[in-house]
Structure 1
Amino acid sequence: MDELDLAILDRLQHDVRQTNRELAAAVGLAPSSCLARVRALREAGVIRGAHVDVDLTAIGRSAQAMVALKIKPQAFGSAGTFERWIADLPETLSVFMVSGASDFLVHVAVPDTDRLREFVLALAKRPEIADIRTSIVFDHTRKQVVEPLGPGRRSTS
């Protein structure tokens, strides 16, 4: 990836709905060259799609939580199956397989704490789970623009 690819990624992350002609003008390329670069970034898997940012409160899911799950040692053989199962639950926003005290962190959004309680109690019935710890999310900030951190690109700290 060169500086033009990085500029294309930056512009698309700020506004994925802009036309190719607008994107090309912003990064200083001919529209055909810009389109070829965007296609190449997609084919390389750098651009994996475009997403809609949904207001969870507006769709009735104002209570968020991070649910930390510890899996029983004998269940590690089916950790992938468990991960897919929990990712498919309608309450689940994201699933992270992690190291440390927990094996999975699950970001969920539900209408209220009563529904969160029901969700956690349903998880507790799963034979794979050894421990559940739930933390209510009071606020959530997600970066809208992500820059690569490769050689020559350092954090500002």
Structure 2
Amino acid sequence: MMDKVDFAILRQLQDDGRLTNVDLSERIHLSPSPCLRRVKKLEAETVITGYRATLDREKVGLGMTVFVDVSLENHKDQTSLQFEESIIAMPNVLSCFVVSGQSDYRLEVVVHNLKEYEAILRTIQTLPFVKDIHSNFAIRAVKTDAPLPIQEAQS
């Protein structure tokens, strides 16, 4: 069970994952040793799943984002498992969600250009059990990489 201090730690680390333990402990008004213990506990419990730099997609040459809706021929467990394993192995696929509605999956794909997307699309088309694919090209990003809106549960 997390308390208000844990949530304060998480909010601070979402804002700046490079905070030193001393800086973090000062911001949440806790001494460094208990602060570090709490962070280690949150990591061990996989509440904190990792730390990474957030990159500007345009500046690293991945300025094209495509949302791809994929429908499968059937919904058997093995079908979904094979599809998901293939998608997980594709580095240009940033996220994959099982969705309700007309499609079974929604993928977020980043590429350098249309030619590169075409190659990825061909790969997706050749995956077993893929029935239908619809692509939506992002025109402009309005909001990305926002921190999770976490807060302590109200009693």
Structure 2 gap segments, 5+ residues each: none
Does residue 13 of structure 2 align to residue 12 of structure 1? Answer: yes
RMSD, aligned CA: 1.9
1:26 aligned residue: 27
Query: What is the aligned partner in structure 2 of residue 61 from structure 1?
Result: 62
Kept in 1: contact 2:67–2:109 (CA 8 A): yes
Q: Given residue 47 of structure 1, which amino acid in structure 2 is its aligned partner?
A: I
**Percent of aligned positions that are identical:** 29
Count of residues in correspondence between the two structures: 153
Equivalent positions of 1:71-150 (< 5 A) are 71-73=72-74, 76-140=77-141, 141-148=143-150
Give unpaired runs (5+ residues) of structure 1. Answer: none
Q: Deviations over 1:108-129 (max 9, x none)?
A: 1111112222322332233311
Which amino acid letter does the alignment assign opposite residue 146 of structure 1? L
Contact 1:64–1:136 under 8 Å retained in 2:
yes
TM-score, normalised to structure 2, is: 0.88
Deviation string, structure 1 residues 36-84 (Cα, Å, up to 9, x no partner): 1111111121111112112222222211100100001166522122112
